[in-house]
């Protein structure tokens, strides 16, 4: 049985948790100046920079002096302490403790067991109760052991008791936040009472270093007897808030043994030996075109600020065969251990040449994406440490489909559309390009408007030398032979004008299908197929002219409207 | 190798997905080498007055029209479009494609490459005696825009070098012997 988490209910705890979690993040998520000032003020109030003895109480009564561990805010302090104004009564729960605990320094403490025998009786189930007493805590300088009574227990065979104690590794100054520390927790048992059996029970004490969510971060366990103790060491950073619990398990022969007290001591050593490490943990974008400036950041630990970080960029994907990217460019770490690097791919003239020769020949397929591998490295004591972007969880530095399309405009040296101008494909016809995205300046709306202007349009047809008036049927089909074309596709189909309106999504090539109408010829009803060039093309050109400049074309060559060579009406607009 | 291509037949059914689908119809496409066969189905209910009388197919390669349904004719520039139409000009328009029936259209092209191009089928309302609904979609059609890709050019170049190098190599071997 363990008792964890019940000390964490207070609003103040949650606020501190937020502060501390922020403090654990990267540079960008560290506390603001205001938060740090608040923290510093709080620390000074609680700890007073020295050995302030606070009067604490349980159940509204004053029981004992309290001197927080880690006085001076350099060591560990009780999480609850952070919200405890000097002189104010302590509000339970605080440190749980049973009546046998010798660590308290207050008056006699009323037993608050819920079940189980009285002292001296048979062992039984004993539940750790809420605060009945504050705990006497000795305050020692940094680096020494701070001992305090905790989770007072009385044990019996097969039972284990513990109470989670929230602790924060407090910082003296904002600069200390996030700095690595080494924590050693030790626990032992004293005050064993063995009324009839000579041997000492098997007491087991566990240390569980848990985060605020209760997830185990690190832990240890030691088999201890009445005089020895076990301990565990783990790494943490200043600003961490965590829980620790001590479990006391007793294998008690008949007659019973009692652990009179359990103590937990915590040692914090600042600046332990930390292995140097480098990790790329920031990238300004995951996609790009070659004129974009790309920024990366690497966090470095275990070395002082000002350490040199070497950056190398390697092309892959469509840039695999291109050399000349930054190699071993040096930046230095700032006070937060962060080194920042920026590069713009098109600063590499070899890449520009490659794009404007190899990738501007025309194609009916998507261009492959340009990708980059970025490597950050440092040398420490003759040893090289490196971080590769591909090994991080930041994702690849690789063009997405939208930027592959936008890149083509750069490759053809024509204005590059904004990402917001690139829309999902409108489907076959509207999108005669190579991608699942396209540009469209009202392609569908213009088509529908042209269709509406075409259908029902009055036309004249000549039959056997006689002219007859009729109209285009209301459901006459008009097909789109070409709409949007990406620059590569545009070149592929033979256009020599990279900045054709088709590449801007503001042009359509339209083809009328044959239609049939009823005409009264010599007094008899006759179904007539309207001729393409004499009737339908001129009608469609006139309809398309309502939406832009419409011309008849044979391929890419303009021909007179009604000419037998015409095979579509091209209409374009701004 | 070429035989393999010639006998490989592709089957494609135009999906009723885009544009106007007022007319119930569908088009199947098979390709065997340079022969492209389109079968147009009138999927209207049997009692429907909508008989198909026009079939417009866009192409992008030189073609020859091999098969046209009886009583139908076509207009084409042989390169970019074919418009087939029923020649019936008086009711009851006996050559129109009736509901539930299908017609086959066959073309041949030197280009075996294809791409999706638009087509349309239009119906004639045999009851009201006027233009009926139409159906527009996309179907694979001959495409002659197979411009060699850079990679193809490289392969072609390597192949050419091989052709050039082979006699020289043969000569060297012969001399060596």
Residues of chain B above pLDDT 90, percent = 65
Q: Does B94 touch chain A (CB under 8 A)?
A: no
Residue from the list A480, A527, A532 with its beta carbon closest to the beta carbon of B89: A527
Residue from the list A361, A513, A564 with its beta carbon closest to the beta carbon of B83: A513
Query: Strand locations in A241-307, DSSP E?
Result: 241-249, 261-270, 277-283, 294-301
Residues of chain A above pLDDT 70, percent = 52
CB B53 within 8 A of CB B86: yes
What does the buried/exposed string (b/e) look like for A151-184 if buried means 16 or more CB atoms within 10 Å of the residue's CB?
Answer: bbbbbbeebbbbbbbbbbbbbbebebbbbebbbb
Binning pLDDT at 50, 70 and 90, where does residue A263 land?
very low
Segment A385-403, tens digit of pLDDT: 999 999 998 978 999 999 9
Rounded distance between C-alpha atoms, residue B163 and residue B170, angstroms: 11
Segment A212-232, tens digit of pLDDT: 555 655 554 433 343 344 555
- The answer to whether the Cβ–Cβ distance between B53 and A516 falls below 8 Å is yes
pLDDT given at position A113: 26
Binning pLDDT at 50, 70 and 90, where does residue A304 land?
confident
Spell out which residues of chain B touch residue A518, defining contact as CB-CB under 8 Å.
Answer: 129-130
Residue from the list B56, B77, B129 with its beta carbon closest to the beta carbon of A567: B77
- The answer to whether the Cβ–Cβ distance between B131 and A429 falls below 8 Å is no
Rg over alpha carbons for chain B, rounded to the nearest Å, is 23
The residue with tokens 């029902």 is A456
Those of residues 549-568 in A touching chain B at CB distance below 8 A are: 564-565, 567-568
Segment B9-37 mean pLDDT: 72
Cβ of A306: how many Cβ atoms within 10 Å? 10
Length of chain A in terms of residues written: 574
Spell out which residues of chain B touch residue A514, defining contact as CB-CB under 8 Å.
Answer: 54, 56, 75, 83, 85, 122
Partners of B123 in the β-ladder: B52
Nearest CA in chain A to B58: A481
Rounded distance between C-alpha atoms, residue A59 and residue A54, angstroms: 16
Segment B50-96, tens digit of pLDDT: 999 999 999 999 999 999 999 999 999 999 999 999 999 999 999 99
Q: Does A443 touch chain B (CB under 8 A)?
A: no
Least confident of A107-121, A434-448, A479-493: A107-121
Strands A61-66, A54-58: pairing is antiparallel
Rounded distance between C-alpha atoms, residue A266 and residue A239, angstroms: 16
**Is pLDDT above 80 for A436?**
yes
This prediction has a pTM of 0.59
Q: Does B122 touch chain A (CB under 8 A)?
A: yes
Segment A118-140 mean pLDDT: 25
Segment A229-239, tens digit of pLDDT: 455 566 666 66
Spell out which residues of chain B touch residue A475, defining contact as CB-CB under 8 Å.
Answer: 20, 22, 122, 131-134
pLDDT given at position A381: 84
- The answer to whether the Cβ–Cβ distance between B138 and A429 falls below 8 Å is yes
Cβ of A12: how many Cβ atoms within 10 Å? 15
The three-class DSSP label of residue A529 is strand
Residue from the list A361, A364, A427 with its beta carbon closest to the beta carbon of B18: A427
**Is pLDDT above 70 for B161?**
no
């Amino acid at each position: 049985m363990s008792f964890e988490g019940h000390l964490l209910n207070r609003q103040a705890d949650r606020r501190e948790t937020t502060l501390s979690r922020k403090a654990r993040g990267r540079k960008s998520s560290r506390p603001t100046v205001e938060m740090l000032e608040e923290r510093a003020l709080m620390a000074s109030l609680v700890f007073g920079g020295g050995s302030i003895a606070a009067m604490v109480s349980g159940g509204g009564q004053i029981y004992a002096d309290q001197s927080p561990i880690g006085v001076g805010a350099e060591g560990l302090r009780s999480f609850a302490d952070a919200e405890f104004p000097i002189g104010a009564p302590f509000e339970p729960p605080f440190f749980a403790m049973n009546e046998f605990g010798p660590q308290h320094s207050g008056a006699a403490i009323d037993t608050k067991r819920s079940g189980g025998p009285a002292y001296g009786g048979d062992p039984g189930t004993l539940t750790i109760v809420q605060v009945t007493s504050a705990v006497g805590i000795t305050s020692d300088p940094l680096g020494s052991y701070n001992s305090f009574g905790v989770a007072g227990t009385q044990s019996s065979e097969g039972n284990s008791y513990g109470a989670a104690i929230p602790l924060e590794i407090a910082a003296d100054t904002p600069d200390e936040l996030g700095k690595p520390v080494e924590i050693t927790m030790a626990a032992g048992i004293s005050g064993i009472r063995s009324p009839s059996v000579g041997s000492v029970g098997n007491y087991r004490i566990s240390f569980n270093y848990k985060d605020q969510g209760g997830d185990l971060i690190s832990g240890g366990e030691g088999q201890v007897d009445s005089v020895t103790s076990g301990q565990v060491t783990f790494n943490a950073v200043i600003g961490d808030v965590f829980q620790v619990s001590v479990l006391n398990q007793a294998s008690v022969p008949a007659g019973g043994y009692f652990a009179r007290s359990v103590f937990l001591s915590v040692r914090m050593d600042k600046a332990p030996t930390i292995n140097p490490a480098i990790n790329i943990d920031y990238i300004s974008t995951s996609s790009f075109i070659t004129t974009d400036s790309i920024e990366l950041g690497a966090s470095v630990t275990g070395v002082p600020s000002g350490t040199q970080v070497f950056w190398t960029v390697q092309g892959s994907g469509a840039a695999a065969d291109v050399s000349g990217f930054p190699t071993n460019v040096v930046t230095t770490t700032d006070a937060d251990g962060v080194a920042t690097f920026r590069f713009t791919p098109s600063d590499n003239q070899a890449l520009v040449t490659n794009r404007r020769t190899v990738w501007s020949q025309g194609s009916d397929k998507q261009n492959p994406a340009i990708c980059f591998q970025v490597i950050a490295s440092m040398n420490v004591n003759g040893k090289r440490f490196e971080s590769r972007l591909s090994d991080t969880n930041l994702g690849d530095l690789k063009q997405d489909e939208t930027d592959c399309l936008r890149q083509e405009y750069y490759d053809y040296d024509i204005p590059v559309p904004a990402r917001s101008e690139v829309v999902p494909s409108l489907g076959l016809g509207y999108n005669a390009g190579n991608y699942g995205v396209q540009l469209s300046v009202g392609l569908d709306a213009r088509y529908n408007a042209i269709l509406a202007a075409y259908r029902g349009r009055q036309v004249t047809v000549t039959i056997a030398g006689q002219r007859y008036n009729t109209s285009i049927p209301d459901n006459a089909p008009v097909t789109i032979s070409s709409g949007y074309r990406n620059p590569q596709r545009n070149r592929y189909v033979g256009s020599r004008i990279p900045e054709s309106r088709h590449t801007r999504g503001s042009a359509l090539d339209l083809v009328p299908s044959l239609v049939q109408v009823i005409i009264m010829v010599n007094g008899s009803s006759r179904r007539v197929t309207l001729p393409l060039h004499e009737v339908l093309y001129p009608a469609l050109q006139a309809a398309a002219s309502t939406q832009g400049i419409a011309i008849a074309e044979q391929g890419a060559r303009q021909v007179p409207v009604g000419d037998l060579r015409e095979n579509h009406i091209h209409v374009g607009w701004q | 190798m070429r035989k393999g291509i010639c006998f490989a037949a592709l089957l494609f059914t135009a999906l009723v997905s885009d544009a106007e689908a007022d007319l119930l119809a569908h088009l199947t496409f098979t390709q065997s080498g340079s022969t492209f066969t389109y079968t147009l189905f009138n999927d209207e209910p049997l009692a429907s007055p909508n008989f198909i009388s026009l079939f417009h197919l866009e192409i992008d390669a030189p073609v020859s029209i091999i098969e046209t349904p009886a009583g139908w004719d076509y207009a084409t520039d042989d390169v970019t479009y074919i418009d087939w139409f029923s020649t019936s000009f008086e009711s009851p328009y006996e050559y129109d494609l009736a509901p539930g029936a299908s017609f086959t259209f066959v073309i041949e092209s030197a280009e075996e490459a294809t791409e999706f191009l638009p087509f349309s089928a239009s119906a004639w309302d045999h009851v009201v005696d006027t233009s009926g609904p139409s159906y527009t979609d996309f179907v694979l059609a001959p495409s002659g825009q197979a411009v060699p890709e850079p990679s193809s050019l490289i392969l072609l170049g390597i192949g050419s070098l091989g052709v050039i190098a082979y006699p020289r190599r043969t000569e060297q071997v012969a001399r060596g012997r």
